[in-house]
Structure 1
Amino acid sequence: MNLLLDRGVSTLPQMRLVFDQEADHFCGYMETDTQKPATPPMKAGIVPVTPLQQNCSLIWCTATNKGALVDPGGDLDKLKAAVAKSGVELEKILITHGHMDHCGEAGVLAKELGLPIEGPHEADRFWISRLEEDGARYGMQAEVFEPDRWLVDGDTVTVGELTLEVIHCPGHTPGHVVFFNRPSKFAIVGDVLFQGSIGRTDFPMGNHQDLIDAITQKLWPLGNDVTFIPGHGPTSTFGQERQTNAFVSDYALS
């Protein structure tokens, strides 16, 4: 089992990691721990998918046992096995942006399980429309789909009794969104930000300055103690990245 969640969170009072050493697919899961409740209100697991090892996240509300898959880009059998093992009842699919490793098989999964798709922002319609073309180019399964709900900045999405804020963060793609659960100080940021790096902006419709502005003006104000799952690689915190990230640390931008 590849423990991708082994760094970046252990010192936080708000979140702690709990690893299931028996898990076949989960790297681990996070639970809120601010007041040490008997049952944390939210949990999240990572299932790396596609040859690009994209972090598909399974998040769920422990009060209702209802959950959502965020960015199910591929490896659907692996994802379904992970969901079955968790015992979570899926109620929707959430998408951060339109690149194939994040949503290439979202439409297939939605049709198979009868789930709605929410996200990304409609500015990523360009990327979703070319999923099959891009998939063929890179030897990956991908299918064009139409989300049941396009998202805009300031929207909210629900998962069980949980509410996640939608933050439009263009730059990597024009329609990229971030999902933020304020009570847990937890975000799923897709390819906006990584531990030690930021998203590429050399793709069509990418914009480096838009990305920097989104990170510094929309993410940093949420607080240094926010833990985030990126689209690839290990988790981190906004505070850690403000200290050490070569692209968007306070020092790098001073």
Structure 2
Amino acid sequence: MQRETFPVGPLQCNCSILYDEAAHDATVVDPGADLARITAFLTAHTLKLRQIVVTHGHLDHIAGAKLLSEQTGAPVLYHQADLAQLAWMEQQAAWMGVPTPKVAPPDESAEEGTKIVVGTQTGTVLHTPGHTEGSISLLFPESNLLLAGDTLFRSGIGRTDLPGGDTATILRSIREKLFPLPENTEVIPGHGRATTIGHEIERNPFFNE
């Protein structure tokens, strides 16, 4: 499995394209904006989009999912607990100074244990609430790869002061779901630089007071 990650939109959300060129198979994670760049990459590599996965329902991660689905026919997956985030999408757009995006309920809820297949590899959804009630992370153990959304950042955690956020819950999600992973697991956060589980166990200030 190969990965292409690049920042999109005004908040520089990390959008990832996970793909297998031999199988011509791709999954897009968090298409918050820049759909032209995403579709150009799929076309250039002759990839068929199998699914679109959204790690949580904030505008900067979900804004392009419905339109990308309409363009490609690929289903949108996110956790049903984040349907509540859609109710204040207009307010989110006003804060960011962008048009309100077209959003919709998921075609499939990305529950704990849901399998995400990319070519010959199978990833697993980890429900990691705290940033939002339906926040998820995606684990691909064969690639030592974790897409953590806005749950875990390099030396930080996701904010918990927005609707659906809870500090105790996000800390528990990280301790119980993410920190038990192999320390060499590469972590791609929702924004900013990559890190590893080992680095965060040792140096994340939220866990090393």
Tell me, yes or no, if structure 1 residue 173 matches structure 2 residue 173.
no
For 2:146 and 2:21, how far apart are their aligned partners in 1?
17
Partner residue, 1:216: 175
Q: Show the 5 A alignment for 1:142-181.
A: 142-181=101-140
Contact 1:73–1:104 (Cα < 8 Å) also in 2: yes
> What is the root-mean-square deviation of aligned Cα atoms in Å?
1.5
Contact 2:52–2:77 (Cα < 8 Å) also in 1: yes
Contact 1:72–1:103 (Cα < 8 Å) also in 2: yes
Partner residue, 2:86: 128
Tell me, yes or no, if structure 1 residue 139 matches structure 2 residue 97.
yes
Count of residues paired in the alignment: 208
Partner residue, 1:94: 53
- Percent identity, aligned pairs only, is 37
Q: Show the 5 A alignment for 1:51-62.
A: 51-62=10-21
Secondary structure, aligned partner of 2:134? coil
The counterpart of 2:31, out of the listed 72, 92, 96, is 72
For 2:90 and 2:123, how far apart are their aligned partners in 1?
30
What TM-score, normalized to structure 1? 0.78
Decide which structure has the larger Cα Rg and report it. 1
For 2:87 and 2:123, how far apart are their aligned partners in 1?
26
What TM-score, normalized to structure 2? 0.93
Partner residue, 2:203: 244
The structural deviation recorded for 1:87 is 3.6
The structural deviation recorded for 1:205 is 1.6
Contact 1:98–1:124 (Cα < 8 Å) also in 2: yes
What residue ranges of structure 2 are gaps of 5+ in the alignment?
A: none
Tell me, yes or no, if structure 1 residue 234 matches structure 2 residue 193.
yes
Q: Deviations over 1:194-236 (max 9, x none)?
A: 1111100011121101100100111011111110110001111
In structure 2, relative to structure 1, the CA distance for the partners of 1:86 and 1:131 (3 Å cut) is: farther
Tell me the amino acid that sits aligned with residue 84 of structure 2: F
